[in-house]
Structure 1
């Protein structure tokens, strides 16, 4: 029988397991984000210690490698003063006439459903450096953004 028709085993047909992708750029975190990362590391360390299933153990170890890397590379920038939009601020603004409020946080803390937006997101980059009363272009529209207020995330 030809080698082309022979199968070594079921494992050769399984999807490969890749490392979790690390976001490009600095790993800026808020104090809350750093605590979340530490919590993930602790939870995964406990999970790994209790697992016996080989597949589940491989997945948990992969996740632990990701969170250990995120913890070791975390950068806690200085607390902003709240005068302009920066990492670690909550900003209320008008976007094409509709009021929105977003908090600018790190990549791992981002959760659009909770209005926590990564500092690397396009809207965050458009808002950075603006102060209340400032206007900015966004998505090809002139003066699409008007800053109403800026506060430090508490």
Structure 2
């Protein structure tokens, strides 16, 4: 079974979503189905069909989250010895050599990735190019937009 890397915060967010789905959404959908059934003929009852569709999405997401959490390899980056090397969970500050633009990325699991917040997936081209490197290195990374060269300025384990 393949383990899914996840930060502590990512696991907490998934658990919170799972609780919300099981304890809030599921009962709401069940009540909506019961109310729609009370309206009579189910063949032409749009409310009933919409509620059943919502139920399918909700149950599917519950199964997906439970599966991910059962396969999760939760990594607490604050307990990792600082070696200076970039690993999963590290926060990395880089400078794009072409544009002189400084950016800070945090390497996280697929479910936590949010490029707008500079949270990049461990499976993204930038993260794959940075992992294993250390402070002071220069790396060239193939991205969908072309090759980009970065100077690694700082590596933190926060």
- Band of TM-score, shorter chain: 0.7 to 0.9
Residue 39 of structure 2: aligned partner: none
Higher helix share: 2
Q: Is the 8 A contact 2:135 2:153 kept in 1?
A: yes
Q: Kindly indicate whether residue 26 of structure 2 is the aligned counterpart of residue 48 of structure 1.
A: yes
Residue 123 of structure 1: aligned partner: 126
Note the 1:60-139 alignment, pairs <5 A: 60-77=58-75, 79=77, 80-82=80-82, 83-96=84-97, 97-139=100-142
Unaligned runs of 5+ in 1: 1-24
User: What CA deviation, in whole Å up to 9, does each residue of 1:77-102 have, x standing for no partner?
Assistant: 35333422110110001123321110
Cα separation, 2, equivalents of 1:125 and 1:145: 13
Residue 150 of structure 1: aligned partner: 155
SS at 2:102's partner residue? Answer: strand
Cα separation, 2, equivalents of 1:57 and 1:72: 22
Size of the aligned set, in residue pairs, is 128
SS at 1:29's partner residue? Answer: strand
Q: Report deviation, 1:27.
A: 1.0
Runs of 4+ in 1 over 4 A off after TM superposition: none
Unaligned runs of 5+ in 2: 34-50
SS at 2:134's partner residue? Answer: coil
Q: Report deviation, 1:141.
A: 4.6
SS at 1:108's partner residue? Answer: coil
SS at 2:91's partner residue? Answer: strand
User: What CA deviation, in whole Å up to 9, does each residue of 1:69-125 have, x standing for no partner?
Assistant: 111111113533342211011000112332111000011011111110010100000
SS at 2:75's partner residue? Answer: coil
